[in-house]
Structure 1
Amino acid sequence: MGRVSTAYLLTCAAIGVAGGVLFWGAGWIATAVFAVAPFVSVAGAGLWLLPSTIALRLLERPFAGILTGVLAGLVAFPFLAAAVWWGFMAELAFLVVLYRFWRTWQYWAGAVVVGIVYPVAAAQSFDLWAMTPVAVVGFFALTLASCLAGVGLGVLVADRLRAAGVARLARRRR
């Protein structure tokens, strides 16, 4: 990984704080919605991928997603574990290739993986296996669509930030 620059840390911190503010609101809204309509609460799952996706796409540096997730979780402290988990999931597609390459399809692959893993990991919380087969398929589809939307928005935001010259000093050297 080389040296970790101050610019890298500050960029992750800025994205993490903004993500933490997003998580604070999204987390409490999802908690309230979960109480009355658990199925609907996964519609916002993709928001949890947003800060880490932006950091990974903008910086193309190892651990940017996890670091941003940790920082976002510290801002939205009751949701720290969730923020770190989603940050790790955003990072996974790059970790499995040991950060050797950074392709756009990896972001989408990560969204698909988390869109499948999350419903299985949270099945007990949602009582997923007690739902009708149609509802289970709908649950997976809604989670997957949300994750794809979150990654798409993250890639778009990061690409716009990069075009504007943001974090030029913190990026991976090519």
Structure 2
Amino acid sequence: MRNVSTRLLLTCAAIGVAGGLVFALNAWIGGTVAALAPLFYGFTIGVYFLPGVVAQYVIRRGGVAILTAAIAGLVTAPLQPIGFWATLIAIAIGAFQELPFLITRYRRWNTWLFIVGGIVAGIVCAAGMYRTLAKDALDAASGAILMTGYFVAPVVFTAIAVLLGAALVRTGVARGLRAEHTRVTRSA
């Protein structure tokens, strides 16, 4: 990230702290769901996709998803049972969120790229959880429920984050933060 201003860092920090607090709340809700109805836990993981996408949508610069996700992970680490692992998970999700834009060399910020990133992350999450949990231990219907949650949550929460980011942009917080060489079509 070149030309990083204090304002950009503070914007990432504000989004990251808010995201971290939401992560902490979700850790307890998700833990309860995992204990009572583990097949539905996947539907709770989408929250981890909010801060990175909001930061990307508002700022539209490379690296902000990883930075914001790392801040969110650090904020939530002492507030949830998995501790520092939350930071590592958040950073991994932030890196996934950077990929579609890295491929375009951070020149395109179309809304569909955010959704494609959510779909790819959903496929990776669902496949990973199927391989880890469902392959041998669950019947077909239970495996389908588990995988659906891990696939749908990243896509839905990415769409929600795009809407939140758009609302923030309408307030004017993005003025002066966005990279000048970005291209956006009418769909963004």
Tell whether the structures are fold-level matches, with TM greater than 0.5. yes
Q: Which residue of 177, 180, 183 corresponds with 1:173? A: 180
| Deviation, structure 1 residue 124 | 5.5
Contact 2:130–2:147, Cα closer than 8 Å, also in 1: no
Instruction: Give the corresponding residue for 2:150.
Output: 143
1:74 maps onto 2:74 in alignment: yes
- Superposed, 1:70-109 pairs within 5 Å as 70-77=70-77, 78=83, 79-109=86-116
Report the more deviating stretch, 81-90 or 11-20: 81-90
Q: Give the alignment's Cα RMSD to 1 decimal.
A: 1.6
Instruction: Give the corresponding residue for 2:184.
Output: none
Gaps of 5+ in 2: 78-82, 182-188
Whole-angstrom CA distance in 1 between matches of 2:172 and 2:91:
28
- The letter of the residue matching 1:58 is V
- Superposed, 1:102-117 pairs within 5 Å as 102-117=109-124
Whole-angstrom CA distance in 2 between matches of 1:70 and 1:155:
19
1:39 maps onto 2:43 in alignment: no
| Deviation, structure 1 residue 90 | 1.9
Contact 2:40–2:145, Cα closer than 8 Å, also in 1: no
The structure 1 segments of at least 4 consecutive aligned residues displaced by more than 6 Å after TM superposition are: none
| Deviation, structure 1 residue 153 | 0.9
Distance 1:123 1:141, change over 3 A: closer
Whole-angstrom CA distance in 2 between matches of 1:171 and 1:98:
15
- Superposed, 1:43-54 pairs within 5 Å as 43-54=43-54
- Can you list the C-alpha shifts for 1:38-75, whole angstroms capped at 9, x where unaligned? 21111112111011110001111001100000000010
Report sequence identity in percent.
35
| Deviation, structure 1 residue 169 | 2.0
Gaps of 5+ in 1: none
Whole-angstrom CA distance in 2 between matches of 1:133 and 1:41:
17
Whole-angstrom CA distance in 2 between matches of 1:92 and 1:27:
26
